[in-house]
Chains A and B, each alone.
Chain A
Amino acid sequence: MRTRGGVLVANIIAGLALGYIVCNIGFGDYAELNRMFTFQDLRMLLAFAGAVAIIVVVFAVLGVRRTPGRIHAGVVPGAVLFGTGWAISGGCPAIPIIQVASGYLPALITIAGVGVGMLLCGWANARYFHLDRGSCGL
Chain B
Amino acid sequence: MNNYWPWWAGAIGLALVTINYTLTTDRSLGVSSAWDRVLHWRSERRLEVLDAQFADDRALVDAFAAATAEQFGTGPGAPTLLDAEHGDAQAAGQDVGPTAVESAPVASLRPAPLVTQAALLLSILLGGWVAAVTAGRFQIRFDMGNGYRELVTANPTTMIGVLFVGGVLVGFGTRLAGGCSSGHGLSGCGRLRPVSILATAVFFGTAVLVSFLLWKVI
A70 (CB) vs chain B CBs: closest residue: B195
Sorting the interface of chain A by its residue count into under 10, 10 to 19, 20 to 34 or 35 or more gives 35 or more
B129 at the interface (CB under 8 A from A): yes
In the bound complex, CA of A72 to CA of B32 (Å): 18
Interface pair A136/B184, CB less than 8 Å apart? yes
What's the least CB distance linking B140 to chain A, in Å? 5
B154 at the interface (CB under 8 A from A): no
In the bound complex, CA of A106 to CA of B141 (Å): 8
Interface pair B145/A54, CB less than 8 Å apart? no
Interface pair B30/A20, CB less than 8 Å apart? no
Contact residues of A: prevailing secondary structure: helix
Interface pair A32/B163, CB less than 8 Å apart? no
27 inter-chain pairs at a CB distance below 8 angstroms, sorted by A residue, are: A1-B25, A2-B26, A2-B105, A13-B20, A14-B17, A15-B122, A24-B13, A26-B4, A30-B148, A32-B2, A34-B211, A48-B181, A50-B7, A59-B22, A65-B96, A67-B191, A72-B195, A83-B203, A93-B32, A93-B171, A100-B125, A106-B144, A113-B166, A117-B172, A120-B168, A137-B179, A138-B94
Interface residues of B (CB under 8 A from A): 2, 4-36, 39-40, 94-101, 104-105, 107-108, 111-113, 115-117, 119-132, 135, 137-148, 150-152, 159-160, 162-196, 198-200, 202-212, 214-215
Assuming A19-B128, A48-B14, A71-B195, what are 20 further A-B pairs, CB within 8 angstroms? A6-B24, A10-B24, A17-B13, A19-B127, A33-B211, A38-B211, A47-B5, A51-B10, A52-B189, A67-B28, A76-B202, A83-B206, A83-B210, A90-B166, A94-B31, A101-B127, A103-B139, A104-B143, A113-B166, A138-B111
